[in-house]
Amino acid sequence: MTIETFGPEYVRPAEKDCPNCDCCTARLCEKGATSIRECYGHTATDDARETVAGCPCSSEETRGTAAWRAGKFRATMRAEIRPLAVDVEAALRAVAAGTAVPEHAEQLTPLTRLRYVGFIDSHPAITELGATYLAARDEPRFTTPVEVELVDVSARTARVIVVGWSLTEPATVLLDQLTSATGLKAEELPGKFLEATANCYTEHAGDLVLTNITLAPPLPSSWTAGDIPLVQDEKADADQPQRRVDGASSGGEA
């Protein structure tokens, strides 16, 4: 007679379903929302990937996800560095204006592949990525200081002040974008000043897209030492002749 010695069979507790979608567990969506790979990239089997593909909790089309931020960055970089062919961009503008015609059909193929154009009831419609691309082509972008206030390692984001946009309202950017651009570790970023190119005329903080990120040059030593003479000595002023900007004495002949 054989005696079973292994005890009761262990059954792993079921994962909690995500309350915001009908395709994933809560844990998967939490991970997918903070990754540019989305939920799709964190599943192990073809069947599972097919099930979670396009999950709204991590989608590039869902505002605030890592994939959404990365998509806006890619569209902006394309606009800055490698714009669409003239005829393809013209087709995108026609779609945005609602004036696309059958002659644009060939150009819609690359726009659909880039996800700049989608279809609603068989009619082409511009997507947020397409709108981001056109905005980056049309709106001015400025080099501005950027202060890193804090980082969230678990969410893979950083809170920053984009000086050229607002001195008080923070914006959220991808943490990996900052570490990759600066070579700094996440824990080294808070308090650092960077320089970046940004769309400083945008209305919402979420639509700020930073490119060309670098570490800001250090402040002059005299600034950090606190020895900048803010008010000149009156006697020293009296000893110095008044000067114009062009170097001519203000009381004599030019």
Asked whether 129 and 71 are in contact (CB, 8 A), the reply is yes
Does the residue 45 lie in any domain? Answer: yes
Does the residue 222 lie in any domain? Answer: no
Does the residue 28 lie in any domain? Answer: yes
Separation of alpha carbons 65 and 68, rounded Å: 5
Residues 88, 93, 98, 99, CA torsion sign: negative
CATH number at residue 160: 2.40.50
Looking at the structure, do residues 165 and 130 belong to the same domain, yes or no? no
Separation of alpha carbons 139 and 136, rounded Å: 6
Range of the structural domain that residue 81 is part of: 66-138
Separation of alpha carbons 177 and 199, rounded Å: 17
80, 85, 88, 93 alpha-carbon torsion, rounded to 10° = 40
Q: Is 172 helix (H, G, I), strand (E, B) or coil?
A: strand
Looking at the structure, do residues 93 and 121 belong to the same domain, yes or no? yes
CATH number at residue 83: 1.10.10
Looking at the structure, do residues 40 and 80 belong to the same domain, yes or no? no
Does the residue 11 lie in any domain? Answer: no
Strand order in the sheet with 171-174: 171-174, 157-162, 142-152, 193-198, 211-215
Separation of alpha carbons 249 and 247, rounded Å: 7
Chunked mean pLDDT (size 10), the chain, 254 residues: 57 79 92 91 86 91 94 96 96 94 92 95 94 97 96 96 96 97 97 96 95 86 54 45 38 37
Residue 85: its pLDDT value, please?
97
Asked whether 58 and 38 are in contact (CB, 8 A), the reply is yes
Residue 10: its pLDDT value, please?
57
Q: How many other CB atoms sit within 10 Å of the CB of residue 224?
A: 10
Does the residue 253 lie in any domain? Answer: no
Q: What is the count of structural domains for the chain?
A: 3
Residue 48: its pLDDT value, please?
83
Of 91, 147, 141, nearest in space to 114 by CA: 91
Asked whether 131 and 139 are in contact (CB, 8 A), the reply is no
Residue 248: its pLDDT value, please?
36
Residue 1: its pLDDT value, please?
54
Q: Which domain-ending residue is among 107, 138, 169?
A: 138
Looking at the structure, do residues 133 and 149 belong to the same domain, yes or no? no
pTM over 0.95? The answer is: no
Looking at the structure, do residues 134 and 147 belong to the same domain, yes or no? no
DSSP state of 185: -
